[in-house]
Structure 1
Amino acid sequence: MQTPFELRAATESDAQWIAELRAVVLKNDLERLDRYDPVRVRQRFLNEFRPEHTKIITLDGLAAGSLALRPTSDSQWLEHFYIDPQHQGKGLGGSVLADLMRRHADTRPFRLNVLAGSPAQRLYLRHGFVVDTSDPIDVFMVARGLTPRRPVTPTC
């Protein structure tokens, strides 16, 4: 099910809101893994926040989530993909992820990490991600990029 949404560029003023959203979204999984620290969960995001790579997901003009796509020379890292709990389970995450992967597809794979046992892993599996490596806390996933086109050699 496609959920209509818009993306807007994040600004420095969005940092605190995203940090709070992160704390809410990750709390259950971090508690289950005995890793929840209410200060650290927010500060870790604030230390890494790069507005130039971050978008705010909006529904009817209101913020409903965030995501960041950080390009490297050999990968595209999907980071800080958080959907407000009141909008989870309604197709928004799937719509955003499908759109992002379609619009930013190139030969580099998409990569991400998700907390072990997180329900979000099912979303990523549905969109072509596979487990690359894992440990008791983190699951690193990858989805292949586009296959590079081979030059056509004319035949005479």
Structure 2
Amino acid sequence: MRLFFAPVGQDDFEALFDLRIAAMRESLERLGIFNLDNARKRFAGQFDPQHMQHICADLEDGQGPQRAGLLTVVPYHDGRLKLQHLYLLPAYQNRRIGDWAMQQVQSQARRDGRAVWLEVLNQSDAIRFYERHGFVQTGGDPIDLLYQWSPV
């Protein structure tokens, strides 16, 4: 399997919104806060193609490269990087693609000497993923937990 990033354009909004919903709906419903209109408004407020990348996978099955997910890393005002989005379509989860994307983020952060922070939904399955990659909880509220990773 070959993995790579591809740029995001303004015309990718709907496809990436659908991807985000596919990746997050179960967690949002578990917390009782799923609302399609609110989700669209929130994603629209965060939609910034300059900092977004498609996560693409070429599974060598003859279908060619497919959009597997979305990665958004935004430089934050205090010098850290904010991991805004790391979503994979359900069909691409548990295939080490998220691990690959996280390694890319952490490698860049190490080179730049920057910490990475993120917000993750409370009770989300993604918590284990982030902790496995060295993120430590630094705060939060009943809906979102704050995590940070610092280069060694």
TM-score by length of structure 2 reads 0.89
**SS of residue matched to 2:36:** coil
Alignment pair present for 1:87 and 2:64? no
Superposed displacement of residue 47, structure 1: 2.2
> Relative to structure 2, which stretch is displaced further, 48-57 or 95-104?
95-104
Deviation at 1:94, TM superposition (A): 0.9
Match of 1:121 in 2: 127
The 2-side partners of 1:52 and 1:136 are apart by: 31
Q: C-alpha separation between the residues in 1 aligned to 2:45 and 2:144?
A: 19
- Cα root mean square deviation, aligned: 1.3
1:93 offset after TM fit, Å? Answer: 0.5
Indicate which of 5, 18, 21 corresponds to 2:19: 21
Cα distance between partner residues in 1 of 2:2 and 2:126: 20
| Mapped partners of 2:120, 2:99: distance in 1 | 15
**Partner of residue 73, structure 2:** 69
- State the distance in 2 between where 1:74 and 1:132 align: 17
In structure 1, the residue corresponding to 2:134 is in which secondary structure? coil
Note the 1:127-146 alignment, pairs <5 A.
127-146=133-152
Residue aligning to 1:150: none
Q: SS at the partner of 1:5?
A: strand
| Unmatched runs of 5 consecutive residues or more in structure 2 | 59-64
**Higher helix proportion:** 2
CA distance in 2, matches of 1:39, 1:25: 16
Deviation, 1:24, is 1.6
Match of 2:46 among 41, 45, 48: 48
Moved more, 59-68 or 104-113: 104-113
Secondary structure of the 2:128 match is helix
Larger radius of gyration: 1
**Contact 1:15 / 1:49 at 8 angstroms: preserved in 2?**
yes
CA shift at 1:119, angstroms? 0.8
Decide whether the 8 Å contact of 2:4 with 2:55 is kept in 1.
yes
Unaligned runs of 5+ in 1: 147-156
Where does structure 1 differ by over 3 angstroms across 4 or more consecutive aligned residues?
Answer: none
Work out the CA distance in 1 between the residues paired with 2:105 and 2:114: 14
